[in-house]
Structure 1
Amino acid sequence: MAAILTLACGMLADAQAAATIVIVNLNAPGEGFNDPTPAQPVGGNNGATLGQQRLIAFQHAANIWGATLTSTVTIRVGASFMPLSCTADSAVLGSAGANDIFSDFPNAPRTGTWYPSALASKLAGTDQSAPTDPHIVARFNSRIGLFPDCLPGAGFYLGLDNQAGPQIDLIAVLLHELAHGLGFQTFTDSESGEQTLDIPSIWDYFLVDNQNNRSWVQMTNAERAASSVSGNALSWNGPNVMAAVPTVLAPVSVLRISGPAARNAAGNYDVGDASFGPPLGSTPVVGQLMQVIDPGNTTGQACTPLSANNALAVKNNIALVDRGTCTFSIKAKNVQDAGAIGMVVADNAPGDVTGMGGDDPTVVIPSVRITQQAGITLKQVLTRRSRTKSGVIASLGINTARLAGTDQQGRIRMYTPTEYSPGSTVSHYTTDAKPNQLMEPSINGDLSHEVTPPRDLTYPLLRDIGW
């Protein structure tokens, strides 16, 4: 028989904001939440075993959501830790979603519209699911960091204090996945554009093409499918998110190129921000752009300490390096050690601008990422340079006229990469947002445990769909 743990929900100042969350432990004895492996206290988590610490972390994340939401119907989460897909370099951290969807229930704000079971029950005021059925089903990877073929040396950080360092913050992962189960997802097939039983999801009313301002409910299947892989043409149009965007998102970062040798490369370039190092601010970091060149090659990846010639070139300048082979933070540390005051990473494949993940508290220079085409343009004008001067001036700063991750109307964009990504496309925010948001497709190391403004836009979206 599955064990049931009722989680006490911490209260916000507004006493009306509360929901009861019940975790249904779906693990067998000795596994997952019941793993008897001894564990030492960490970051306020005093569980004596690995299983207990996992359960305490889950409780902590549920407390955060329970104190934020309002519902008179208990929310049941069927949860387990089990082996999921992973390699030495990447892994599925977890997954969660609504167990059931409902339409045309009592008090439904919109008829003929799918709602996730937890939200449908809240709106109806009575449980729409069977008494023993969970509203949310969640699974998390039990192997991460514990086996050599599953992110060895990383592992979940089970502390409650948001001090994960180079590890993966389990609380952030739990908050993210629980949000999906609460309704941060569409039930329309993002790849084909087909609606479930030809009925739209409540989510689809707020997805809007930022080129023609048509919502997903106004589109054909083919049009929805095209917007899912549009790169940046899909935005969220909900009023609560719209109102919160200016208080949460920071100005977009920009690379400005000028100088006597810049020629046709002069101008502004969109960039992706790094999750490590200092954020760009109103006082730009300015220096000559100098390319790192690997011996016998036309590219430079800065994956090892720089040669004497490369170090001479980048010292007190901004280094241009190529993506590939090693992590972004390793590149930044190597050019920093050589004396660079900033780093620009040129992508090694076509595509739109995206951010750079990673974590290294010793990196103190700013870093940005540009497209492959932008890199080609810059390298062409850098072919005429001396060992210490290029005459191409790079300025790493911000554009105060635009917020990071937004469209021209100031709406946050959704994650719509040009290559469809199952489980990620559409049902996440763009990776261009700054600061990084909880509901981006990857868990970034700089996330807090907040789900509300002024730090995060997760709860405003849930409010848009009915919470």
Structure 2
Amino acid sequence: MRKINSLSLKRTLVAAAGALVCLSAQAVTSVVVAPAKATIIISSRDPVGFGFNDTTPVAPVGGNPGTTLGAQRYNVYRYVADIWEQNLQSPVDINVSAGWEALPCTANSATLGSASAFNLWHDFPGGAPGTWYPQALANKLAGVNLSADTPDDGSGYGNVDIKTQFNINLGNPDCLSGSGFYLGFDGKAGAQVNFVATLLHELGHGLGFSVLSVNTSSGLRINAEYTAYTTTGLPSIWERFMYDNTAKKTWLTMTSAERKASAINPLQLAWIGPNVAAAQGLLKAQPALAIATPAPGASGLYQYNPSPFGAAITTPSALGRLAVIADQAGSLGPACAPFNAANIAAVAGKVPVISRGGCTFAIKVKNAQDAGAIGVLLANNAAGALNPGGADATISIPSAGITMADGDKLKAAVIAARPYGSRSAPGSVTATWSVDTSRIAGADAQGRPLLYTPNPLIGGSSVSHWDVSASPNLLMEPNISSDLGIILTAPKDLTVPLLKDLGW
């Protein structure tokens, strides 16, 4: 989500007040008409020869008929916009400003892109009083383009509904090397990043899948003048559907301090909108690791999220004996370098528990595989569930993400189990792929889907996504998964039901 541009949005609010007066004067009759399918207009802001205007020749791929790189990029935008049009109704065109930029990245990580509602509105005809809405939704509810009479601020996109930008350097040696955007429509991205799924996700944010007007690091809201975050700012339409199971109240009724605490309250913030409630039955029983150990205190079920690479996990099936590794001098993080002799001996024929950090998940698992491991458990380095991302076609062993607390507990259990065996056969901890039928993946005890609230806070991701523990994977989780399709409704996905809760 973009940083606040107070000046341009303050002008937008002045226009909103004018629009309200005009509409009030003309509101003499009401006519019932059939809902109009949404129309999305894409406007490029790229210069000649760049981004959408890149004339580099390419071969058609995965149903995308473009023969230049720029044409293929635009074709994906149009393909994704068409999908969204089939899922939304609005009598007002949705205007998207699209561009390609050099976004932050390294050889092992990258910002893929971002999108957000560029303008917000409150107190317009058709909206809840004193409540912020993203412009595309506000236009739909008002039945007019609220920014139609607002002069552009000189940027070329000052009065658009949604602004998007994606990483022009993705896949270069210094920007997630070898994993550029896949521009086909068929989902066969392999080790590349599926641009269709990425863009579907980002446009979802622009349409309103975001907390919008709350600073999640402070809990403060944007004031009515859109000049500052304050304790008396206006709520977003999003907040009335966010229920914290610890505080037992919605964000709508919380103080700023309570919202700040809720944003880092893992696995406790649920969505309670009626459309999502009607569709939440698509969530499945929680995948779990059944852990057995002779030492007291660690046996039981532990939740996990499978990695998108390596062998598929079959449930139920045996995983193996767990192991721990020692830090290696010069390594960027646990398992970020080829294993030394001691760690090879520790993991051969076993399943190491490896903490997140320093390099990609795929690098960690590949190094463990090369050392003889038969599987890997990747433990988070912060509170909350872990949904590993990445790709590597050479990985053939299964792996999965677990919480930091569970990772620490299982590492301690491996050491605690050793005295329960003999010198030649120390006691061990064994794991089996299973399910916890008493829990719904990604949901609270009432089955309500959970929002993403890791601790510490992740700016731009926390609260404005589904939690990564959801199964099946959902489009609006913070990580793009390889098994996502283009269906945005139940029984496949919950994106459109949530947007309908907001008013779409």
8 Å contact from structure 2 (residues 344, 372) kept in 1: no
Task: Mark the CA change 1:288 to 1:202 in structure 2 (over 3 Å): closer, same or farther.
Answer: same
Deviations 1:21-51 (A, max 9, x none): 1111112222221122222211111212211
Deviations 1:231-259 (A, max 9, x none): 23222111222222221x22212222224
1:313-324 map, 5 Å: 314-315=348-349, 318-323=351-356
Deviations 1:133-159 (A, max 9, x none): 32111111112124x322221111111
Matched, 1:124 2:142: yes
1:352 to 384, 388, 407: 384
Deviations 1:307-365 (A, max 9, x none): 699579653x5444454555433444565577755432345x45333122222455454
2:122 to 91, 94, 103: 103
Which stretch of structure 1 is more off in the superposition, 220-229 or 432-441?
Answer: 432-441
8 Å contact from structure 1 (residues 301, 324) kept in 2: no
How far is 1:444 from its partner?
A: 2.6
The answer for unaligned runs of 5 or more in structure 2 is 1-33, 153-158, 224-232
8 Å contact from structure 2 (residues 474, 494) kept in 1: yes
Deviations 1:416-454 (A, max 9, x none): 121222211211111221222211222233322332222
Query: 1:392: which partner in 2?
Result: 429
The answer for unaligned runs of 5 or more in structure 1 is 1-14
- Alpha-carbon distance between aligned partners in 2 of 1:338 and 1:101, rounded to the nearest angstrom: 53
**TM-score, scaled to structure 2:** 0.80
Matched, 1:189 2:208: no
Matched, 1:202 2:237: yes
Task: Mark the CA change 1:41 to 1:306 in structure 2 (over 3 Å): closer, same or farther.
Answer: farther
Query: 2:255: which partner in 1?
Result: 220
Query: 2:277: which partner in 1?
Result: 242
8 Å contact from structure 2 (residues 334, 364) kept in 1: no
8 Å contact from structure 2 (residues 109, 360) kept in 1: no
8 Å contact from structure 2 (residues 109, 176) kept in 1: yes
Aligned to 1:241, what secondary structure does the other structure show?
A: helix
8 Å contact from structure 1 (residues 313, 389) kept in 2: no
Matched, 1:270 2:303: yes
Task: Mark the CA change 1:283 to 1:103 in structure 2 (over 3 Å): closer, same or farther.
Answer: same
Query: 1:252: which partner in 2?
Result: 286
8 Å contact from structure 1 (residues 290, 314) kept in 2: no
Give 1:175's aligned amino acid: L
Q: Percent of aligned pairs with the same residue?
A: 43
- Alpha-carbon distance between aligned partners in 1 of 2:72 and 2:446, rounded to the nearest angstrom: 44
2:168 to 142, 145, 154: 142
Aligned to 2:297, what secondary structure does the other structure show?
A: helix
How far is 1:67 from its partner?
A: 0.9
8 Å contact from structure 2 (residues 179, 191) kept in 1: yes
Give 1:358's aligned amino acid: G
- Alpha-carbon distance between aligned partners in 1 of 2:343 and 2:111, rounded to the nearest angstrom: 41
- Alpha-carbon distance between aligned partners in 2 of 1:381 and 1:158, rounded to the nearest angstrom: 50
Give 1:181's aligned amino acid: G
8 Å contact from structure 1 (residues 359, 445) kept in 2: no
Deviations 1:198-244 (A, max 9, x none): 21110011111122430001000111111112223222111222222
Task: Mark the CA change 1:460 to 1:306 in structure 2 (over 3 Å): closer, same or farther.
Answer: farther
1:154-193 map, 5 Å: 154-186=179-211, 187-193=213-219
2:63 to 7, 32, 44: 44
8 Å contact from structure 1 (residues 284, 398) kept in 2: no
**Number of residue pairs matched by the alignment:** 446
- Alpha-carbon distance between aligned partners in 2 of 1:406 and 1:175, rounded to the nearest angstrom: 23
Give 1:423's aligned amino acid: G
Query: 2:266: which partner in 1?
Result: 231
Matched, 1:459 2:493: no
- Alpha-carbon distance between aligned partners in 2 of 1:269 and 1:376, rounded to the nearest angstrom: 13
- Alpha-carbon distance between aligned partners in 1 of 2:235 and 2:347, rounded to the nearest angstrom: 57
Query: 2:43: which partner in 1?
Result: 24
Deviations 1:60-79 (A, max 9, x none): 11011011111121111111
Task: Mark the CA change 1:40 to 1:233 in structure 2 (over 3 Å): closer, same or farther.
Answer: same
Which stretch of structure 1 is more off in the superposition, 421-430 or 198-207?
Answer: 421-430
- Alpha-carbon distance between aligned partners in 2 of 1:104 and 1:397, rounded to the nearest angstrom: 51
Query: 2:416: which partner in 1?
Result: 381
Query: 2:132: which partner in 1?
Result: 114
Task: Mark the CA change 1:313 to 1:195 in structure 2 (over 3 Å): closer, same or farther.
Answer: closer
8 Å contact from structure 2 (residues 170, 177) kept in 1: yes
Query: 1:328: which partner in 2?
Result: 361
8 Å contact from structure 2 (residues 130, 235) kept in 1: yes
How far is 1:87 from its partner?
A: 2.0
How far is 1:54 from its partner?
A: 0.9
Give 1:137's aligned amino acid: K
Task: Mark the CA change 1:151 to 1:258 in structure 2 (over 3 Å): closer, same or farther.
Answer: closer
Query: 1:448: which partner in 2?
Result: 485
Which stretch of structure 1 is more off in the superposition, 354-363 or 237-246?
Answer: 354-363
Aligned to 1:240, what secondary structure does the other structure show?
A: helix
Task: Mark the CA change 1:401 to 1:33 in structure 2 (over 3 Å): closer, same or farther.
Answer: same
How far is 1:175 from its partner?
A: 0.7
Give 1:83's aligned amino acid: A
- Alpha-carbon distance between aligned partners in 1 of 2:218 and 2:356, rounded to the nearest angstrom: 32
- Alpha-carbon distance between aligned partners in 1 of 2:110 and 2:362, rounded to the nearest angstrom: 19
- Alpha-carbon distance between aligned partners in 2 of 1:378 and 1:352, rounded to the nearest angstrom: 20
Query: 1:56: which partner in 2?
Result: 75
Task: Mark the CA change 1:314 to 1:138 in structure 2 (over 3 Å): closer, same or farther.
Answer: same
- Alpha-carbon distance between aligned partners in 2 of 1:200 and 1:296, rounded to the nearest angstrom: 50
Give 2:441's aligned amino acid: A
Give 1:155's aligned amino acid: G
Give 1:288's aligned amino acid: R
How far is 1:265 from its partner?
A: 2.2
2:108 to 89, 105, 128: 89
Give 2:285's aligned amino acid: P
8 Å contact from structure 2 (residues 325, 346) kept in 1: no
Aligned-CA RMSD value: 2.9
- Alpha-carbon distance between aligned partners in 2 of 1:96 and 1:313, rounded to the nearest angstrom: 42
8 Å contact from structure 1 (residues 293, 310) kept in 2: no
